[in-house]
Amino acid sequence: MSKLKSAIVISILMVASFSSAIAGELTIRRPEKVGMSSEKLADLSAAMQGYVDNKTVAGVSVLVARRGQVVYREDFGVSDLKTERPMQDDTIFRIASMTKFIVSIAAFTLIEDGLLCRHHRLSDYIPAFASPEVIESIDGRPPTEYNLVPARRPIYIENLLDHTAGFEYRFHNHPVLGQLYAENEIWDGFNTVSEGGPQTIGELVDQRLAELPLLFEPGREFTYSLAHDVLGHVIEIVSGMSLADYLQMRIFGPLEMDSTFFFTNDADQIARLATVYTPDGDGIKELGNDPVELFPNFYADNGFPFQGPQSVYSGGAGLCATLNDFYRVIQMVENGGRIKPKCGWGPSIQILNCRSVYNLLRVRDHDPRMDPFTEQFGWKGYRFNNGAGVHVDPSESGKAASIGQISWNGAFHTMFFMDPEQELIGIMMAQLVPFLGNDMQAQFEKLTYEAVTESY
């Protein structure tokens, strides 16, 4: 067994061993009790307030937990500049691609139940993918001139979990698939669905995506893509429920995640949604409720959680959640698949068993390294598996994170990391798109690790 695998096995056994000591309520504990520095966390507060003061973001919410205890939970600025509504515990954020990790957890519940297998063919569940074709370039010809050849290998469920299936994202602007995805209104999950767009995720996957070629031979390489949207539809087929209903029944309901959803018509939830902003010169401006093309083939808007058909459940980007809700699911995973009820007493709520959590978090030698697109979001030194990045090379990443740390972010400026070895969780949520012009996420992670005074 490799050193990496050994470290992850040990860390899972460690977190399972102290499950009875973990409180269910979001009670703030003294950082020094769990090997962290209050003084250093004050530096984190100063940094986050600075991003608000210099108008990088309107507001931001952050959480740090160690050894199953929340030691830092702060809100800065406002969730809406017009109303000056403050950021607070019940503010709801569009978490975009952080949806992928939750959908991976949902897939693992079905794997654990024996209803899904990561080594099964995708066509076993969606026959439309029985005979995929692959784009083959022609030597000496421009990329727009190509042949279509039958795939030599089927797409497996595993290829959806690690994004090696050959799908794309429209906003990558591949010279062939970028155009085909646009012509077929392949929806990415970041904006209100247009009138000509799909009405269900099944329509998107079965009737649109399955009719288009793959970027490469399944399993050959990694491209960040719509793979988790396809996985979400597989979950619908296997469970016999919509993805929204299955997540509510199997994850959100048991974990008491009361403000996590794809779409809403609830006036209170809509009022609690943080407004999305976009950079504008030296400051920011409201994105608005109509889809805006922020860069070629990337559309986003403020209104998609409460506009449109409200029936296209994007497994790759569609969820909204409070920070506290999202913490519940991440703490559950770090704690070996279970967590105490919010009230703090009574039997633990179990979502996965320890073996499933080990398989969810582990990285294998064949798991793909990130591509240039994802590396610009801070994923150098990571491999991709099960909807998140797994830290494998500190010399390449330059981070203090342990090998085996799980981390990912979302297009609307949310991010999380979970370090099983250090028993450390960090979550940061703001609403800004695009956010690549600032170092806020990197500073949040860096300052959190600097606050650790007792390392393993």
**Band of pLDDT at residue 455, cut at 50, 70 and 90:** confident
**Band of pLDDT at residue 4, cut at 50, 70 and 90:** very low
Q: Is the Cα torsion angle 382, 335, 409, 34 positive or negative in sign?
A: negative
CATH number for 3-104+248-450: choose from 3.40.630.30, 3.10.20.30, 3.40.50.740, 3.40.710.10.
3.40.710.10
- pLDDT given at position 375: 78
- pLDDT given at position 144: 85
- pLDDT given at position 22: 37
- pLDDT given at position 363: 86
- pLDDT given at position 2: 46
- pLDDT given at position 24: 37
Instruction: Answer yes or no: is pLDDT of 73 > 80.
Output: yes
Percent of the chain with pLDDT over 70: 95
Per-residue pLDDT tens over the stretch 233-256: 999 999 999 999 999 999 999 999
User: Is 414 within 8 Å of 93 (Cβ atoms)?
Assistant: yes
More confident residue, 372 or 73: 73
Return all residues near 156 (Cβ < 8 A) that are at least 6 apart.
Answer: 118, 119, 120, 121, 122, 218, 219
Where are the CATH 3.40.710.10 domain residues in the chain?
Answer: 3-104+248-450
How many residues belong to the chain?
Answer: 456
- pLDDT given at position 310: 96
Per-residue pLDDT tens over the stretch 196-235: 999 999 999 999 999 999 999 999 999 999 999 999 999 9
Task: Give 257-325 as a DSSP string.
Answer: -TT-BS----HHHHHHBPPPEEEETTEEEE--SS-EEEETTEEE-S-TTTSS-S----TTT--EEEHHH
More confident residue, 257 or 379: 257
Per-residue pLDDT tens over the stretch 311-341: 999 999 999 999 999 999 999 999 999 999 9
* DSSP code at position 85: E
Per-residue pLDDT tens over the stretch 135-167: 998 888 888 888 999 999 999 999 999 999 999
User: Is 259 within 8 Å of 325 (Cβ atoms)?
Assistant: yes
User: Is 425 within 8 Å of 62 (Cβ atoms)?
Assistant: no
Q: Residues 347-366: what's their mean pLDDT?
A: 93
Instruction: Answer yes or no: is pLDDT of 304 > 50.
Output: yes
